[in-house]
A and B are shown apart, each in its own frame.
Chain A
Amino acid sequence: MHQLSYGFLLLRLAVVLTLAFLYLPLFVLIVFSFNSNPFTQEWGYFTTEWYSVLWDSREIWDSFYNSCKIALQATILSVLLSTLFVSFANQYYKKHLQFLFYASLAVPEILVAVSLLGFFSLCFIPLGPMTILVGHTLLGLGYAVPIIYTRYQEIDQQLILAAYDLGASQFQIFRTIIIPLLFPSIIAASLLVFVLSLDDFFISFFCCDATTQTLPLYIFSIIRSGSTPVINALSAVLLCITSLAIFCFSLLQMKDREKR
């Protein structure tokens, strides 16, 4: 209808400007991670020395290892718990307890983090990687349950009824029918929760002790105390990792939708 009007051109311009606005900081960050000058923005020469500093840095690898460990455990726990919940809970409970998992997302994350902190100190649980893991799993449940439940609702009930008729027990049905059908959404949920846990700041900030460092916390402390392009290099690497994970996630979701 309005393909060639000025309004349409203006709209296209707005979209282009917004995309530029969205990607400019990230682009600049990556470009300047190759700058040789550490303290000014003057372009010295193209170098990958910051990446080798990054590779050699003990601190960064430690906190990265910590983050990955916690993220992996949180992913496994939350996806496991949500799959079990979605497959085995009573229909009534599933419908009405959904809000419980959404609520942990609807509330500002700082509220969740702070109440967890209060809870841990009340029960005299020492803070550390365990408490961070627990918090991340809580968040992960909030994301995993909707994803897996949506997919579960699309399963053809006839298959399950047929399996019962043929004499399968509930666990056989779970193992041979439900899990294979839920598999794409399980993978998708795992990717999502992994990325979220890796990037999470609030819960890690409030529920950690002095010795645990996760990657976001490390970057936060470095920003406060002065930075070098090593942070640019680290950010570029993180960007690539999360983009890849989210790309796979979107691909999985799209393929899943096309199949149905």
Chain B
Amino acid sequence: MIERLKSCFLKEMPFFLAAPAVLWAIILFLFPLLCLIFTSFIDQDTGLFSWYNYHHIANITIAIIIIRSLFYALLTTFFTLIIGYPIAYYVAFYARAKEYMLFFLTLPFWTNLIVLVYAWFFLLEREGLINFLLTKLGLITEPLQLAYTTGSVILVMTYCYIPFMIMPLYSVLNKFNMRLLEASCDLGATYFQTLRHVIIPVSLPGIRTGIILVFVPSFGEFIVPALMGGAKQLTVGSLISYYFVVSKNYAIGSAFTILSGLILLLTAILIYFLITLIKK
């Protein structure tokens, strides 16, 4: 009997070896997400199913916060696209040591996010380097308010997410079929016409991936707005961290998280389909 069990066990060993990874992901990722959804429907006091939490957060302040995060995320995506596309284009078409270039372009991404934010802080704050240099050169008399503005938040977020945009764009442009360019030249198109009618449409899948890769994380970003935006500009991320860490109000916090998550998902799907429509 024991022998049979042992041999069965040994035969099924592969399953037991492979299972932990899957179990890890299911127990620690899927299940907690479900718990989150579950918690958002529970009333804090009575412990019963209720829509109380959602009622509680359905007010204009919350709406403003969500819209502000969407706004930041969209602006960041826009700027990373504008800055990232020429870079990806250059590296894919013209550069010689492509992989080294790519390595150097994505290197800032691998450093600590906090270090990057601190570096910009160092430049932008009132006693920071930029203000200092400008005052030294006599161009301004009083230090400019560069940090703690919306502009600085967008700037630093763009800085942090550029590599996410460059990588998909590069991988699509790298596989670009050069004969399409030759063909369009033969048919008499100018450079800008080629750009508009050939290059951009072909790279649209890469643009779509890049937009999604930048938009989704930057929506939930809270370090950059918290450090660079000051306490006045609340975003989704800072509010979530407030609910869960400071006030420990898990019920309302999860309701808010689920709500913002849904809005993020809807917006991301909307953008995805818009671009797919443009493709056709």
Identify the A interface with B (CB < 8 A): 1-2, 5, 7, 11-12, 14-15, 18-19, 21-26, 28-29, 32, 39-42, 81-82, 84-85, 87-90, 93, 97, 100-101, 103-104, 106-112, 114-119, 121-122, 134-135, 137-138, 141, 145, 170-171, 195, 198-199, 201, 205-206, 215-216, 219-220, 223-224, 227, 231-232, 235, 238-239, 242-243, 245-247, 250, 254
* B202-228 contact mask (Cβ, 8 Å, vs A): 1 or 0: 000000000000001101111100010
B119 interface residue (CB < 8 Å to A): yes
Candidates A97, A111, A134; contact of B257 at CB < 8 Å: A111
Candidates A2, A22, A29, A118; contact of B36 at CB < 8 Å: A118
- Chain A residues with CB under 8 Å of B39's CB are 118, 122
- Chain A residues with CB under 8 Å of B217's CB are 108-109
Query: Does the CB pair A110–B222 fall under 8 Å?
Result: yes
Query: Does the CB pair A15–B87 fall under 8 Å?
Result: yes
Candidates B15, B86, B115, B116; contact of A88 at CB < 8 Å: B15
Query: Does the CB pair B159–A29 fall under 8 Å?
Result: no
Closest to A243 in B: B107
- Chain A residues with CB under 8 Å of B227's CB are 220, 223-224
Query: Does the CB pair B107–A82 fall under 8 Å?
Result: no
Most buried by B among A2, A18, A19, A110: A110
Query: Does the CB pair A216–B119 fall under 8 Å?
Result: no
The stretch among B52-60, B121-129, B168-176 that forms the contact with chain A is B121-129
8 contacts between A and B (CB under 8 A): A7-B191, A28-B122, A85-B18, A103-B29, A104-B29, A109-B220, A201-B114, A206-B245
Most buried by A among B21, B31, B111: B21
A-B pairs with lowest CB-CB distance, top 9: A108-B220, A25-B119, A119-B32, A115-B32, A85-B21, A88-B14, A89-B18, A81-B21, A41-B132
- Chain B residues with CB under 8 Å of A205's CB are 241, 245
Query: Does the CB pair B240–A81 fall under 8 Å?
Result: no
Closest to B22 in A: A97
- Chain B residues with CB under 8 Å of A18's CB are 83, 86-87, 162
**Main DSSP-derived SS at the A contact region:** helix
Closest to B89 in A: A11
Query: Does the CB pair A239–B115 fall under 8 Å?
Result: yes
Query: Does the CB pair A235–B119 fall under 8 Å?
Result: yes
Query: Does the CB pair A206–B32 fall under 8 Å?
Result: no
Query: Does the CB pair B18–A84 fall under 8 Å?
Result: yes
- Chain B residues with CB under 8 Å of A206's CB are 241, 244-245
Query: Interface size class for chain B?
Result: 35 or more
* B168-187 contact mask (Cβ, 8 Å, vs A): 1 or 0: 00000000000001000100
Interface residues in B108-165 by Cβ distance below 8 A to A read 108, 110-123, 127-129, 132-133, 159, 162
Candidates B111, B122, B216; contact of A32 at CB < 8 Å: B122
B266 interface residue (CB < 8 Å to A): no
The stretch among B1-9, B98-106, B271-279 that forms the contact with chain A is B98-106
- With the chains together, A205 CA to B238 CA distance in Å? 12
Query: Does the CB pair A145–B21 fall under 8 Å?
Result: yes
Query: Does the CB pair A11–B90 fall under 8 Å?
Result: yes
- Chain B residues with CB under 8 Å of A239's CB are 111, 115
* B11-29 contact mask (Cβ, 8 Å, vs A): 1 or 0: 0011101101110111011
Closest to B166 in A: A18
Query: Does the CB pair B118–A116 fall under 8 Å?
Result: no
Least distance between B37 CB and chain A CB atoms (Å): 9
Least distance between A117 CB and chain B CB atoms (Å): 6
Closest to B245 in A: A206
Query: Does the CB pair A21–B122 fall under 8 Å?
Result: no
Closest to B25 in A: A100
Least distance between B6 CB and chain A CB atoms (Å): 15
Query: Does the CB pair B159–A22 fall under 8 Å?
Result: yes
- With the chains together, A260 CA to B211 CA distance in Å? 32
Query: Does the CB pair A141–B21 fall under 8 Å?
Result: yes
Least distance between A150 CB and chain B CB atoms (Å): 14
Query: Does the CB pair B129–A41 fall under 8 Å?
Result: yes
Least distance between A189 CB and chain B CB atoms (Å): 13
- Chain A residues with CB under 8 Å of B99's CB are 250, 254
- With the chains together, A19 CA to B102 CA distance in Å? 11
- Chain B residues with CB under 8 Å of A39's CB are 127
Query: Does the CB pair B114–A104 fall under 8 Å?
Result: no
B229 interface residue (CB < 8 Å to A): no
- With the chains together, A220 CA to B227 CA distance in Å? 9
